[in-house]
Structure 1
């Protein structure tokens, strides 16, 4: 595991596999780190299939530095990934990700097409519930606590406590934030999650998908998954010309069961990303 400074913040990353093999950037969802249970088994399966895999803690995840800039958080991550691949002398490469990582991968392909040879996405967030739920979870708590207590209020939130525990320098980075600038930035990020005509996925205009001209594999969402609707996957497949859409290799209700098990605190239950390893054969087949 290594780190490198990108756009004013340290980014933690590691590369699995053998030098010379095709590189896949593998990105999980939410503000989860590269060490979220379920992600590494997929990475290792891809390595066993003859690929290299870059795992990275995006800003505001894992042990990387917290950062707040850009039109959306995914725009910031796309800029970070461009800087990371450039600094490492890597790319173009395969961009792959699920849930929020799917949006990050899509946006990176749109903004920096020179980085991507192929695109693989699954569990794509969309719909009114999915979008509003993300805004309520990732933006509103920080806005409310800073309005009430100032920047110091961020230290009351478990999310930022975890970032400090993983990387103690994040405490000083948070304290250095300007209250008003932070609130404006979080409002900007929150706005991306407000459902709008002409935006199938949060913060990305449908017209921008026309810029994706590389082979794309889409694993559709489960039929009753409110966070990653089947409909959103179908719409994205229509927006990306000649994309390949396949049924999920995991159970249709995998996300719902994972949500239930997590809420119940089941140690031996589903984790959100445990089923992702089941996509390895389809991904390897698509990559050829």
Structure 2
């Protein structure tokens, strides 16, 4: 399996397609890159090389609970370094949900890398602000406080990371629970410190400062409400809003797997958007 040592952490990656411009695609939440393989294959057929990767602490990449920066900043800097290691000077940068926030951060923190951004299922609003801090951090803090690292390893999220990369079990069990708690509480405080609307954790000034073309594809649940995407599109300077033929749903979250029938439409639009920039 292809791994790269990125800033001291083993990062798993996969390249789909063998020619054409580079396009990175990052999943949402803490989900594996595998969720986007099917979509990446469709985009690659349009003449692109699609780079997928598991962010640290996700999928088959190494668990590393450390660092003073917010976790999403760490992810953004990791992706920029991975591109550098692979000899990719510029790329189209895209992702869904937390992957969309990562894309915005790469553009903000590493000017010149992104030729354009593709932002799918932008996260924001009250439901996201209520759900995500617990989902991403608080549940693991509580587990560590009640049962140490063994309890953390028994959570479904960390069981997935251990199954995908068995070496993660040893890494986690060697951690001091108090240090684990300290890092996650810091990440949690950073995560909840920013705005919640239209894009959670992203200041409007950051959206206004984006100087590359942007494609926004709204979601249709309360965490990825269409209104967030519409509001963001009114702030970002060079933006195209693409509405899929779907209705908003009264649900906290709709998994991306339920969007499988929409992949062809998404890929077709992404390909046409990126090719228009290339021409």
**What residue in structure 1 maps to residue 106 of structure 2?**
108
Unmatched segments (≥5 aa) in structure 2? none
Residue number in structure 1 paired with 2:224: 228
Distance in 2, Cα, partners of 1:211 & 1:122: 19
CA shift, 1:253, in A, is 4.2
The question of whether the paired residues in 2 share the 8 Å contact of 1:134 and 1:193 is answered with no
Q: Deviations over 1:56-92 (max 9, x none)?
A: 1111111100123353221111011011011111131
1:48 match:
45
Task: Tell me how far apart the structure 2 counterparts of residues 120 and 49 of structure 1 sit (CA, whole Å).
Answer: 16
Distance change in 2, residues 1:22/1:47 (3 Å): same
Other-structure match for 2:144: 146
Q: Which moved more, 1:118-127 or 1:211-220?
A: 211-220
- Judged with a 3 Å threshold, the aligned counterparts in structure 2 of structure 1 residues 33 and 250 are, in CA distance, closer, same or farther, namely farther
Aligned-partner Cα distance in 2 for 1:157–1:197: 29
Say whether the 8 Å CA contact 2:133–2:191 is kept in structure 1: yes
Whole-angstrom CA distance in 2 between matches of 1:4 and 1:122: 26
| Cα distance change on mapping 1:87 and 1:221 into 2, 3 Å | same
Are residues 134 and 82 of structure 1, via their aligned partners in 2, closer, same or farther at CA, if it must alter by over 3 Å? same
- Aligned 8 A contact 2:94 2:118 in 1: yes
- SS for the counterpart of 2:12 is strand
Q: 1:197 offset after TM fit, Å?
A: 4.8
Equivalent positions of 1:52-91 (< 5 A) are 52-68=49-65, 69-91=67-89
Tell me the alpha carbon deviations over residues 90-112 of structure 1, each in whole angstroms, 9 at most, x when there is no partner: 13100011111111111111111
CA contact (8 A) 1:255 1:272 kept: no
Aligned pairs for 1:23-38 (under 5 A) are 23-36=22-35
**8 Å CA contact 2:226, 2:248 repeated in 1:** no
Deviates more, 1:181-190 or 1:134-143: 181-190
With normalisation by structure 2, the TM-score equals 0.90
Determine helix, strand or coil for the equivalent of 1:26: strand
How far the C-alpha of 1:121 sits from its partner, in A, is 0.7
**For 2:95 and 2:230, how far apart are their aligned partners in 1?**
17
Residue pair 1:66, 1:174 contacting (<8 A) in 2 also:
yes
What's the secondary structure of 2:62's corresponding residue? coil
Correspondence list, 1:1-288, <5 A:
1-19=1-19, 21-36=20-35, 39-68=36-65, 69-194=67-192, 196-197=194-195, 200-222=198-220, 225-247=221-243, 249-253=244-248, 256=251, 259=254, 271-274=257-260, 275-288=262-275
